[in-house]
């Protein structure tokens, strides 16, 4: 295990070249320091075997992180709850996000995709992030919660106020102004969902919130606080991750016309491409855990209380798990990846995310098969969850189907 300075460690994880194209750095980490302690961050773990071990030992590597970086008042449910309590919440939530229910949403998701594309299909240049990757998952989320689509801007403002308050205040994370903005946003999220929940208590509808109010497991109901802690997480987990995945996918496809043609010409390749890009690009780069006791990983001592960052992207590109991991293949039929995490906290929304990503790729390439990143633009991906705030894209109509 090597010791790095805090500054170089933080720079390493946030450098634009790394977040734009992280695979070479992942390889260096796996080959030279599969377990690396970085001051100010914690212990980075980068091989498939060790990342998988961290994810599958929740008793040693806890998700109940003490730091309130998101200014939530209580642990987010189920993300920051350890077994056995975690299992009770998943038992309630899993059926809501089961594959069959998510497939049933495909028609309404397709309508949203088409409406968004209608807005710019005749133009030559768009901002993919502002006009597609950001509004699309937000509108899916509003539809699931049974909320009006004109609440899109306020929902996005709440999400951004929690995830990237520094971009709004123009001051760094940890600055009192940024902290105050984030705290106020967290309060507005609790307030928003509290009043929506009150409305649903008066009048049930066919939506998730109404279902939470009725849900029962082993004779227990979800408390109002439980429901708020679930909604808070959904807002963070369900919006940014799908936007980030679309940014990563379309950035890759814009630069690889052969792969793009492979799905435009044969839609049956799309589900395989989605898995392959979740593996290769790994939009959620890492997940955090806290060691519950002194232990070891790959022979390296880990101290109780230390933060462990399991680098999902590094594991997904480990040649010990995937043949030729650096090649994105449409014919990779067996694709074991950790793009949705692994173990008990594996993504609750994976089936929904798959329906969203597959539907977006299918309809987009049917209507707009040819596009590129605007020349001269370098996309800047945020670290952690690899999203861009602006994505200037040229649409090429002459070769449209
Ligand atoms: C492509 C899009 C998505 C990606 C890449 C993704 C990725 C992940 C990852 C890596 C985790 C594991 C976190 C950990 O172990 O600490 C996770 C958990 C979670 N995700 Fe997703 N996610 C996506 C979409 C969604 C959507 C659409 C929802 C909708 C509600 C969602 C809800 C959740 C929840 C609730 C958890 C916590 C599960 C638990 O702790 O048991 N995700 N996701």
| 40 pLDDT higher than 90 | no
Residue nearest atom 19 in ligand 1 by C-alpha distance: 347
Residue nearest atom 21 in ligand 1 by C-alpha distance: 347
Phi, psi dihedrals of residue 83, rounded to the nearest 5°: -60, 150
Residue nearest atom 6 in ligand 1 by C-alpha distance: 340
Choose one of 99, 241, 358 to mutate for the ligand 1 pocket test, by most ligand atoms within 8 angstroms of C-beta. Answer: 241
Query: What is the model's pLDDT at position 12?
Result: 63
| 361 pLDDT higher than 80 | yes
pLDDT digits (tens, 9 = 90+) for 220-259: 889 999 999 999 999 988 889 999 999 999 999 999 999 9
**pLDDT, the chain, mean:** 92
pLDDT band at 15 (very low <50, low <70, confident <90, very high): confident
Binding site membership of 159 for ligand 1 (Cβ less than 6 Å): no
Mean pLDDT in residue range 118-122: 98
Binding site membership of 339 for ligand 1 (Cβ less than 6 Å): yes
Binding site membership of 313 for ligand 1 (Cβ less than 6 Å): no
pLDDT digits (tens, 9 = 90+) for 260-305: 999 999 999 999 999 999 999 999 999 999 999 999 999 999 999 9
pLDDT band at 331 (very low <50, low <70, confident <90, very high): very high
Query: What is the model's pLDDT at position 239?
Result: 87
pLDDT digits (tens, 9 = 90+) for 101-114: 999 999 999 999 99
pLDDT band at 4 (very low <50, low <70, confident <90, very high): very low
pLDDT digits (tens, 9 = 90+) for 129-170: 999 999 999 999 888 888 888 988 999 999 999 988 988 999
Mean pLDDT in residue range 18-23: 94
Look up residue 13 and give its two tokens: 């994880």
Query: What is the model's pLDDT at position 67?
Result: 57
Query: What is the model's pLDDT at position 281?
Result: 98
Query: What is the model's pLDDT at position 90?
Result: 96
Binding site membership of 248 for ligand 1 (Cβ less than 6 Å): no
Whichever domain contains 95, its CATH number is 1.10.630.10
Taking the centre of ligand 1 as the mean of its atom positions, its distance from the CA of residue 124, in whole angstroms, is 34
| 205 pLDDT higher than 50 | yes
User: Which atom of ligand 1 lies nearest, measured to the CA of 357?
Assistant: 1
Asked whether residue 120 is assigned to any structural domain, the reply reads yes
Q: Which of 65, 68, 8 is nearest to 38 (CA)?
A: 8
Q: Which of 76, 109, 77, 75 is nearest to 93 (CA)?
A: 77
Mean pLDDT in residue range 387-394: 96
- Decide which of 228 and 206 is more confident: 228
pLDDT band at 1 (very low <50, low <70, confident <90, very high): very low
Binding site membership of 75 for ligand 1 (Cβ less than 6 Å): no
Dihedral-angle region of residue 292 (phi above 0 means left; psi in -120 to 50 means alpha; beta otherwise): alpha
Query: What is the model's pLDDT at position 11?
Result: 58
Mean pLDDT in residue range 28-52: 95
Binding site membership of 245 for ligand 1 (Cβ less than 6 Å): yes
Asked whether residue 401 is assigned to any structural domain, the reply reads no
Taking the centre of ligand 1 as the mean of its atom positions, its distance from the CA of residue 399, in whole angstroms, is 37
Longest Cα–Cα distance in the chain: 62
Full residue range of the structural domain in which residue 85 is found? 3-395
pLDDT band at 399 (very low <50, low <70, confident <90, very high): low
Work out how many domains the chain is built from and give that number.
1
Mean pLDDT in residue range 41-66: 95
Long-range contacts of 25-33 (CB under 8 A, 24+ apart): 26/311, 26/313, 26/314, 26/317, 27/314, 27/317, 29/311, 29/314, 30/314, 30/318, 32/2, 33/1, 33/2
Choose one of 75, 139, 234, 237 to mutate for the ligand 1 pocket test, by most ligand atoms within 8 angstroms of C-beta. Answer: 237
pLDDT band at 400 (very low <50, low <70, confident <90, very high): very low
pLDDT digits (tens, 9 = 90+) for 77-94: 999 999 999 999 999 999
Tell me the C-alpha distance between 153 and 328, whole Å. 35
Percent pLDDT > 90 in the chain is: 83
């Amino acid at each position: 295990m090597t010791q790095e300075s805090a500054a170089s460690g933080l720079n390493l994880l946030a450098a634009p070249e790394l977040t734009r194209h992280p695979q070479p750095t992942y390889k260096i980490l796996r080959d030279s320091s599969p377990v690396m302690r970085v001051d100010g961050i914690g212990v980075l773990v980068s091989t498939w075997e060790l990342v998988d071990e961290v994810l599958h030992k929740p008793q040693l590597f806890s998700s109940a992180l003490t730091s309130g970086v998101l200014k939530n008042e209580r642990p987010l449910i189920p993300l920051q709850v350890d077994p056995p309590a975690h299992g009770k919440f998943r038992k309630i939530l899993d059926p809501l996000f089961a594959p069959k229910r998510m497939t049933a949403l495909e028609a309404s998701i397709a309508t949203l995709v088409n409406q968004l594309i209608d807005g710019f299909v005749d133009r030559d240049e768009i901002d993919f992030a502002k006009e597609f990757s950001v509004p699309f998952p937000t509108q899916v989320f509003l539809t699931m919660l049974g909320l009006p689509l004109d609440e899109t801007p306020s929902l996005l403002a709440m999400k951004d106020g929690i995830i990237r308050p520094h971009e709004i205040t123009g001051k760094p994370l940890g600055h009192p102004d940024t902290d105050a903005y984030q705290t106020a946003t967290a309060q507005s999220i609790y307030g928003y969902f509290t009043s929506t929940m009150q409305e649903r208590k008066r009048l049930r509808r066919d939506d998730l919130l109404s279902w939470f109010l009725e849900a029962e497991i082993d004779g227990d109901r979800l408390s109002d606080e439980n429901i708020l802690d679930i909604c808070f997480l959904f807002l963070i987990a369900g919006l940014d991750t799908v936007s980030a995945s679309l940014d990563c996918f379309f950035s890759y496809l814009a630069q690889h016309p052969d792969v793009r043609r492979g799905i435009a010409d044969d839609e049956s390749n799309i589900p395989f491409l989605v898995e392959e890009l979740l593996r290769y690009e790994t939009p959620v780069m890492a997940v955090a855990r806290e060691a519950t006791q002194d232990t070891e990983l790959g022979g390296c001592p880990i101290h109780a209380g230390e933060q462990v960052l399991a680098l999902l992207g590094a594991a997904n590109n480990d040649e010990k798990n995937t043949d030729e991991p650096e090649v994105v293949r449409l014919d990779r039929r067996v694709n074991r990846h950790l793009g949705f995490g692994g173990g008990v906290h594996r993504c609750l929304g994976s089936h929904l995310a798959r329906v969203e990503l597959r539907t977006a790729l299918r309809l987009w390439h049917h209507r707009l098969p040819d596009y590129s990143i605007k020349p001269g633009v370098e996309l800047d991906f945020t670290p952690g969850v690899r999203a861009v705030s602006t994505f200037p894209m040229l649409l090429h109509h002459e070769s449209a189907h």
